[in-house]
Chain A
């Protein structure tokens, strides 16, 4: 599973459920969009802002017209709902992603550790 190269994005992922979506890389998933359209395809990337990239997509627009899209990028803002496949063990997926982030964080060894942010700003 791919872990972001960005310190900020890792921190965001670690502290939100985006980390669950990132654990779905490679899985065929249905995403409901804000405008009532839906996209079913293989997740190829989810970033910390919940921008999602899918491949081999069956797209149903808000009028019900179905078409196929080779690749689709939908902004996080426009994702209303992600249908987690039934066979996905949600807890195990989150734990696996957290481990992947920690491996990246400690890869550099002592004194070469990644820098992270100590806490979130409260608005």
Chain B
């Protein structure tokens, strides 16, 4: 048979195997490589012939993959994989070199392309094989992609909070937080107001306006001035219906 120099012996992948398909023939550019097992792993795609030799393909080198059920194009349903790399086919190479002619495809400007077909004996597995490859392919985004500005800097932040312009600033204080923001004067005012509130709650039927002895202070000119807050009690004897 044809010596495929890229075939090597290696152990099957043990980690991250998304799908494994035994009894799968591998075909390269129309030439069969034998029957073996296809391993669709997160790190790379591997195929191992039953004898133990095989090859691996790195996802960044895979241009596309597809499920082909078109028997006019190829007589067996298979997973088609196009690779952006050259794989040696000894016979063909020697023939073209002997003739001293260059093949059409060996133009240096054209990127190398190798076409693999993986033909499982179990055709119903093709969907799962295809999906597993899609998932693994997505794990290897193009590192050479300079056009897209896909790196984002800064810490992740809560978009909602940012858009509501909250950030670290609260829109209201809790009691404890607020208390600490008052000046001494402010705190005194707060206590006075709270006292008034407490008094009005406890003496429900007292009304405003009565002057008590305590609240009158005499000035030098004899003027009486109310300086204390008004004490409830003006209409103490009134009947109140609430």
Contact = CB atoms under 8 A, between A and B. Distances in A.
Chain B interface residue count: which class? 35 or more
Interface in B30-70: 62-70
Interface in A34-75: 34-35, 47-49, 51, 53, 57, 59, 62, 65, 67-75
A57 B66 contact: yes
Contacts of B111: 34-35
Nearest to A114: B159
Interface stretch (A10-18, A22-30, A83-91): A10-18
B159 A75 contact: no
A98 interface: no
A5 interface: no
Contacts, number: 128
B154 A67 contact: no
B130 A73 contact: yes
19 contacts: A65-B73, A69-B67, A70-B69, A71-B127, A73-B65, A73-B134, A75-B64, A75-B142, A77-B142, A77-B144, A112-B160, A116-B156, A116-B157, A118-B152, A118-B155, A120-B149, A121-B149, A121-B153, A123-B146
Interface of B: 62-70, 72-74, 80, 82, 84, 111, 113, 126-127, 130, 133-134, 137-138, 141-142, 144-146, 148-161, 164
Given A33-B64, A70-B66, 16 more contacts: A8-B152, A34-B63, A49-B142, A53-B134, A65-B73, A67-B72, A68-B68, A70-B67, A75-B137, A105-B160, A111-B160, A113-B160, A114-B159, A117-B156, A121-B149, A122-B149
